Amino acid sequence: MEDKKMTIDDIARALGVSKTTVSRAMSGKGRIGEATRKKVLDYIAEHNYSPNVIAKGLAQSKTYNIGMVLPGDYHIAELPFFQKCMLGISREAAAAGYDVLVSMVTREDISQLERAVANRKTDGVILTRTMVDDAPVKLLKDSGVPFVAVGSTEDDAVVQIDNDHLNACKELTAGILAQGFRKIALIGGDMNLMVTGMRLRGFKTALADINGRAGGGGPDSPRPDTRPVKDDCIWLGVEDSGAVEKIIGQLLAAGTECIVCMDDYLCGLVLNALQQRQVAVPEQVKVASFYDSTLLADRMIPVTSIRFDVEELGRKACRQLLRMMDGEEVERRTLLGYEVCMRRSTE
């Protein structure tokens, strides 16, 4: 415990060198004799000294903290995502000598983030979720603090890094359509989440593609016959079992062959509703979901799903931020891959 209060000055005195020398030995910056260097490092190791990062930071005008904005009111379906993402961020930060400061925000209250920014407690900030019309994004833009958003934003001046939800959803949908199904429905949650919109676009693109309109044909490309996406197959803003029950009733009556769910919680509700009506999956209806989280780990049938590497997403976001803090130019938008896992539920 004694060593906890040891200072660079103590070391300098004990070794008969200057503080400058000790500092240089540790940082590796500046010229220093190999023998001196070793002497200092040995002493440090032996006495289990570690420098006061706060003081170091002050001298360098750095905090060695990165801020992480975490929603305090998110839905249980998102929890596994945040857990992994946090883990990735904190591991990468630790590897670079940084600690992670959390600011929990809700839709009504972003005061924790305001404090962290005003108090200059962080060298940069990572947003772990993006919303339509996102208050934290605005705050951070105004503050001038370097930040990256995990997720997509409307403002493309913002550095953002995201799973490729659009193409993931498109490929998943296309995969199902490729099996010959045409009556396909989409159920999604909170429309204020950017991710909901991205998936919706992926879904629509897949439908449009199979209808013969290969995406983004130029103005002079032939205008083929198209079957427009039917609105009654897309349900967004769905939150609870009551809503799901009702929707399932309508979908079954309409002869829906496959239901794509935007998250594993909704998918759980859908499976419950189907089970209660004695509708067999996949024999009578196919079901697919996103995230591949433990939320569905123990269902009777394995559910077709997208798999993302969320810890890696967190790590990449952190690395990106560290580069920005070093003044490097970084790409505005980074999209990470995904894996479509076809399973029993859509066979």
Partner DNA sequence: CTGAAAGCGCTTACAG
Interacting residue ranges for a second copy, rule: CB under 8 A: 1, 4, 50-55, 57-58, 63, 65, 68, 70, 72, 74-76, 79-80, 83, 86-87, 90-91, 94, 99-104, 111-112, 115-116, 118-121, 142-144, 240-241, 244, 268-269, 272, 275-276, 293-295, 297-300
DSSP secondary structure code for residue 151 in this structure: S
Binding DNA by CB under 7 A: which of 60, 133, 144, 240?
60
**How many CA atoms are closer than 13 Å to the CA of 34, on its beta-carbon side?**
0
DSSP secondary structure code for residue 133 in this structure: T
Three-state DSSP at 260 gives strand
DSSP secondary structure code for residue 92 in this structure: H
DSSP secondary structure code for residue 47 in this structure: H
**CA gap 123, 61 in Å, rounded:** 9
Give the shortest CB-22-to-DNA separation in angstroms: 7
**CA gap 192, 131 in Å, rounded:** 5
Contact mark string toward DNA, 27..46, x via CB under 7 A:
x-xxxxx-xxx---------
- DSSP β-ladder status, 184-187 and 160-163: unpaired
Three-state DSSP at 258 gives strand
Establish if 4 lies at the interface with DNA (CB under 7 A): no
Between 74 and 229, CB nearer to a second copy:
74
Binding DNA by CB under 7 A: which of 7, 83, 143, 192?
7
Residue from 223, 221, 277, 201 nearest 245 by CA: 277
Between 122 and 205, CB nearer to a second copy:
122
Establish if 302 lies at the interface with DNA (CB under 7 A): no
Establish if 58 lies at the interface with DNA (CB under 7 A): yes
Give the shortest CB-93-to-a second copy separation in angstroms: 9
Which residues bind to DNA, rule: CB under 7 A? 5-9, 16-24, 26-27, 29-33, 35-37, 51-52, 55-56, 58-61
